[in-house]
Amino acid sequence: MVANSSLKKFLRSPLTLVWMCTFMDVIGISILSPFLPQFILEYGATLTQTGWVLSANACIAFFSSIIWGSLSDKYGRKPTLFICRLGSVAGYLLLAFAPNIFVLILARLLDGIFARGILISLTVVGDWVPPEERSAEMSKIGLAWILGNLLGPAIGALLVGFGLTALGLCCAGLSMAALLITQFTLKESNVHRAARQGDGKRKPVFSFGLLKEYTPRALLAQSQFMSLAHFIFSMTVSLFMLIRFNMDNVQIGLLLTLIGCLNLLVRLFVFPLVMVRLRDERALMAGLWMFLAGFLSLMFLNKLWQYALVYILVSFATTISIDLMNGIMSLKVEPGRLGEMIGLNSAVENISLILGPVIGSTLLGVADPRLYGASSLVFTLVALVIGRRFLGFSALPKKEDSVRPD
């Protein structure tokens, strides 16, 4: 009885529910994303046009991310998440039955309006968790992304033979499941909204006030270049494997699943050791140095297993740097503006989602495939400079850290 009671308490925990919903959201994304470029090419698009179609939802998501973040601060996390997931279901259904590339682009735009709102889930973690534990708890959401990215391509490889309709319907079903969990089990976490509604101030839907503050502005700039380096690589990796190694959809799906398994082991056994040894800012900078090593080696390797190792390294660096960024940002703003901060960071990432596939697919089409890692290398260097020069971050311990007792 005690065990059953503990299990029920665990399953009903807001953090567990957020993790489960994120897990299902990521499975849906990773079911579709490795195979969508090939379906777009089958509609008659060029490589550059394919990059723009992949970026279509991010174009409109740049604005919608800011809106959802502000609305969640004003009206609450739960109703915002419900609307976002309902819209995602509609977008996936339209994608499933798209008769031509124009309807497919429309589906991607609809997805862009609503899908990025799921990142508001991170604000739920920020609402429930005390500041000293926030980065660690937010980084656990990264495990949901790893597991989702592990299962998604495998499921996609099984469904891809049935066409885009099967992939779209599966993604819609997962979004509907997350919607039901959000609506019927998740409690509202934004206790600060009532205080703001009673202070007589009206907060605009588009809120850029944090851009006037030095630290949030510098963090967003670092996040911009860091995510751009990541998405150039990750959003075109299936095209890279298709062009460089002539792999088919099933082979790509199985390889990404294998890489995901190895990345999961790294995440479970290496990441905790990194977090014990390093503070948030130091871990973030260490992740950027891993980015640098991975993208640099990408330019000189020519065997499939070597690229697989680079992919694992970049994925682990993503877990450290990009996942920790939201936790670090949450500590730099007051609780009542957490949604605004997460929304602005999501908008920044959407800029990278717009430009990343375009840059990556264009370089793959006009240059030696090995050279497209050079652009990610440059953007990583810029992110390192911003972290060190403007934020004072370093992967090395500070003097006060060296004398701090264990």
The 3-class SS string of 51-75 reads HHHHCHHHHHHHHHHHHHHHHHHHH
Structure tokens at 394: 């370093």
pLDDT surpasses 50 at 214: yes
In angstroms, the Cα distances linking 281 to 71, 230, 344 are 29, 18, 20
Q: What 3-state DSSP class applies to 101? A: helix
What is the C-alpha separation between 120 and 122, in angstroms, rounded?
Answer: 5
- The 10s digit of each residue's pLDDT in 31-86 is 988 888 888 888 888 877 787 777 777 778 778 877 887 788 778 888 888 898 99
- pTM, two decimal places: 0.72
Predicted local confidence at residue 195, as pLDDT? 47
Predicted local confidence at residue 396, as pLDDT? 64
The answer to whether 346 and 65 have CB atoms below 8 angstroms apart is yes
What is the C-alpha separation between 231 and 16, in angstroms, rounded?
Answer: 28
Structure tokens at 347: 């908008």
Structure tokens at 257: 């699943």
The answer to whether 167 and 31 have CB atoms below 8 angstroms apart is yes
Phi, psi of 201 (to 5 degrees): -100, 135
Q: What 3-state DSSP class applies to 334? A: coil
What is the C-alpha separation between 148 and 31, in angstroms, rounded?
Answer: 9
From the list 280, 24, 16, 73, the residue with the least C-alpha distance to 175 is: 24
Q: How many residues does the chain have?
A: 406
Quick one: how many helices (H) and strands (E) in the chain? 20, 0
Predicted local confidence at residue 170, as pLDDT? 95
Residue with tokens 């066409």: 163
| Domains of the chain listed by start with CATH number | 12-187+211-402 (1.20.1250.20)
What is the C-alpha separation between 123 and 138, in angstroms, rounded?
Answer: 9
The answer to whether 208 and 217 have CB atoms below 8 angstroms apart is no
- The 10s digit of each residue's pLDDT in 139-198 is 777 788 778 877 888 899 889 889 999 999 999 999 999 999 888 887 776 665 544 444
What is the C-alpha separation between 346 and 355, in angstroms, rounded?
Answer: 14
Quickly state the pLDDT bin for 403 (edges 50, 70, 90).
Answer: very low
What is the C-alpha separation between 19 and 162, in angstroms, rounded?
Answer: 30
- The 10s digit of each residue's pLDDT in 322-367 is 777 877 887 777 767 777 888 888 888 878 877 887 788 788 776 6
Predicted local confidence at residue 24, as pLDDT? 92
Predicted local confidence at residue 94, as pLDDT? 94
Structure tokens at 255: 């390889």
Structure tokens at 171: 């993604």
Predicted local confidence at residue 232, as pLDDT? 86
Predicted local confidence at residue 15, as pLDDT? 78
- The 10s digit of each residue's pLDDT in 248-306 is 777 877 777 777 777 777 777 777 777 667 677 888 888 899 989 988 887 787 788 88
Phi, psi of 188 (to 5 degrees): -65, 130
What is the C-alpha separation between 278 and 396, in angstroms, rounded?
Answer: 9
| 13: DSSP letter | S
What is the C-alpha separation between 326 and 118, in angstroms, rounded?
Answer: 14
Predicted local confidence at residue 329, as pLDDT? 83
What is the C-alpha separation between 346 and 272, in angstroms, rounded?
Answer: 26
Q: What value, to the nearest 5°, has the Cα angle with vertex 208 and ends 204 and 209?
A: 90
Phi, psi of 203 (to 5 degrees): -90, 130
Predicted local confidence at residue 126, as pLDDT? 73
- The 10s digit of each residue's pLDDT in 240-249 is 787 777 887 7
